[in-house]
Structure 1
């Protein structure tokens, strides 16, 4: 998780409130995370980077499925909570996804980027780094705010096709968290993925799970009938060359 301006997206300030809100809720625990794990499939024996791991619930799930997982996040407080969950054996590091990654080329078989890219104005440098640390043929599994959802939050007349910031206040158990995301249209997402050397193998808009419907019968209908998040599975191909950009 990253911050684009002072006071916005300050997860250090509300890490515990965020953890309490998302640990077992509908949207994160019983919709988004199951959808990412479904895309990931059988991960036993795979080296996985959880990019923007937060408090580590997805890291833990991947580890429990037999993967060797490394978690990175820009928030030290979120990682402190992840450490409590995961123990000392999991490699956790404070890393901002806008910076070069402290890993060797081809260090991972998969990268998961769960609800993190929409914090970034410019995806290209981050995707270049994620491509670099992936083995050839490795996968990037990413979930982002659905562009129809962010467009619905926009002021009347806002340009759907423009990459632009949008802000809101998130009430987390009485803590007012100021959030700032970046809206981008679907074509801008797919273009930057392919420009970074990824091949798109799946785009999904999943329905809530049966467990979600059972646990949250009064809330699930809205999630089942309107866009919320968009999920991508991408395969790392050859790195783009200078000639590719000319």
Structure 2
């Protein structure tokens, strides 16, 4: 079954806690983009085992989360306790939330699992209050292109599958790549304004924790994910 995170949930969650790409790069970047979230109602779309929700809650946000993996949600409940409502749901169907229920939505490494962003973005915009923000991280389209098979067009929307083996279990994951202009068109077509596009450096402590990863990167930067801040009117 594609994108069956249930089978690797515990091992993936454990790796997520300390990995370069998650703990020292993607999560700090999302928190920096979120800024001051005290008192803001935030939906964590595709919350996984809840590390971003926990970090935002610690900064004073009022969190709600959903994920398509029941096992990931079990781990999130263990982390977050009963004060963060968590729902089994995914972006292929209408979300179980009323209109304008949230001030912000964070979609952390979620949209690149979807071929068509039209309905998911419409749902995320529906649940945002006027002036609300959608913070998105996705696989960087040019990094995807560099790793693609020879002859692949950067301008195509295309799928690729990968087997991840963690904790003695293997899951088949399918990702969708698309060029930057297609992402921008999807966001603006859904009624969002793009207020920031970010290609950040990892957290300063990453170099000390992973010296081998930076041996040939004197700038400390690399291509992996692309980040957007989107706003409703």
Shorter-chain TM range is: over 0.9
User: Where does 1:161-176 land on structure 2 (aligned, <5 Å)?
Assistant: 161-176=155-170
| Residue 52 in structure 1 maps to residue 46 in structure 2 | yes
- Count of residues in Structure 1 that have an aligned counterpart in Structure 2: 231
Deviation at 1:221, TM superposition (A): 5.0
Stretches of structure 1 lacking an aligned partner (at least 5 in a row):
1-6, 238-246
Equivalent position of 2:8 in the other structure? 14
Whole-angstrom distance in 1 between the partners of 2:183 and 2:91: 17
Instruction: Tell me the TM-score normalized by structure 2.
Output: 0.95
Whole-angstrom distance in 2 between the partners of 1:133 and 1:29: 28
User: Where does 1:51-70 land on structure 2 (aligned, <5 Å)?
Assistant: 51-70=45-64
User: Where does 1:1-246 land on structure 2 (aligned, <5 Å)?
Assistant: 7-220=1-214, 224-237=220-233
Deviations, residues 75-109 of structure 1 (Å, cap 9, x unaligned) = 00000000000111110000111111111111000
Whole-angstrom distance in 2 between the partners of 1:169 and 1:152: 19
Deviation at 1:170, TM superposition (A): 2.2
Change (3 A) 1:220 1:84: farther
Whole-angstrom distance in 1 between the partners of 2:100 and 2:214: 40
Instruction: Tell me the TM-score normalized by structure 1.
Output: 0.91
Aligned CA RMSD, in angstroms, stands at: 1.3
**Conservation of the 8 A alpha-carbon contact between 1:139 and 1:234:** yes
Whole-angstrom distance in 2 between the partners of 1:186 and 1:200: 12
Whole-angstrom distance in 2 between the partners of 1:21 and 1:220: 20
Whole-angstrom distance in 2 between the partners of 1:36 and 1:175: 29
2:65 aligned counterpart, secondary structure: strand
**Conservation of the 8 A alpha-carbon contact between 1:50 and 1:111:** yes
Deviation at 1:225, TM superposition (A): 4.4
Change (3 A) 1:220 1:114: farther
1:213 aligned counterpart, secondary structure: helix
Deviation at 1:133, TM superposition (A): 0.5
Whole-angstrom distance in 2 between the partners of 1:45 and 1:38: 17
